[in-house]
Amino acid sequence: MKDFIKKFLYKLPSIIFTIAETCVIVLTGRLLHIEYFHILLIMLAFTIIRIKVPKPMHYRKWYHCLIWTSLVFLSLFVVLKFDIKLSVIMSLFMAFVLSSKGNIEDMFMWKGKNTNYADIEEYIKYNEYDTKLIEFESKLKEQTGIEYLLYKYRFKQGLSYSQISEKLEIETPRIAEKLEKIAFAIRIYCKI
């Protein structure tokens, strides 16, 4: 019972956000005088593809997610004013594009990943045996094992957020929050 409560409390902010986001989408549709059935149809088409396509992309900040979701559904509802078939097709396409399968980084001419952590990744790559870096890693390992694993998976092994999420069973926004703290700490400690 304790595990259930612990998991529920851990997921509670995500549940609240999902309910609020759904309300914003429905209200946007109603403001455009779209019937509930059509709103539900567009939302289901979008959601089914997002669930079926592995590794959907997520934003680090909740308000980015809310803004982009609102804009995506607003555009879908505007298209719906003209043609429902086109709107359903567009919702399927947008759901695919907003997954890692439609990620521009998978294109063959893409030059590479520019991340917020490029300086840290480069530092670790070229200073693997630096005493400051080794001290930082050992202190991080002593404090919390989970933060050390996040550090190891992201900065040493270069795993994506979705891969880390699968390995550690942590939601992507939580990973982003913890990695920001780790990045801040390593930049100060190693003077990057």
- pTM assigned to the model: 0.49
- The 8 Å CB, 24+ separation contacts for 116-123 are 116/183, 117/154, 117/155, 117/179, 117/183, 119/187, 119/192, 120/155, 120/183, 120/186, 120/187, 120/192, 121/155, 121/158, 123/190, 123/192
Evaluate if residue 106 carries a pLDDT over 50.
no
Co-location of 76 and 19 in the same domain: yes
Q: How far apart are CA 37 and CA 21, in angstroms?
A: 18
pLDDT score for 111? 46
What band does 114 get if pLDDT is binned at 50, 70 and 90?
low
* Whether the predicted pLDDT of 43 surpasses 50: yes
Q: Which of 77, 106, 135 is the last residue of a domain?
A: 106
* Average confidence (pLDDT) over 4-11: 80
Q: What is the CATH number of the domain that holds 178?
A: 1.10.10
CA 113 vs CA 107, 150, 179: distances in Å? 12, 19, 17
Decide: 155 and 136 in contact? Cβ < 8 Å: no
Residue 26 neighbours by CB under 8 Å, 6+ apart: 36, 39
Residue 27 has pLDDT above 90, yes or no: yes
Structural contact between residues 178 and 140, judged by C-beta atoms closer than 8 angstroms:
no
- For residues 75 and 158, membership in a common domain is answered with no
- Domain total of the chain: 2
Considering the domain architecture, whether residues 94 and 139 belong to the same structural domain is answered as: no
Instruction: Answer yes or no: is 14 within a domain.
Output: yes
Domain of residue 164: give its range.
Answer: 118-189
Looking at 106, 131, 162, which one is the last position of a domain?
Answer: 106
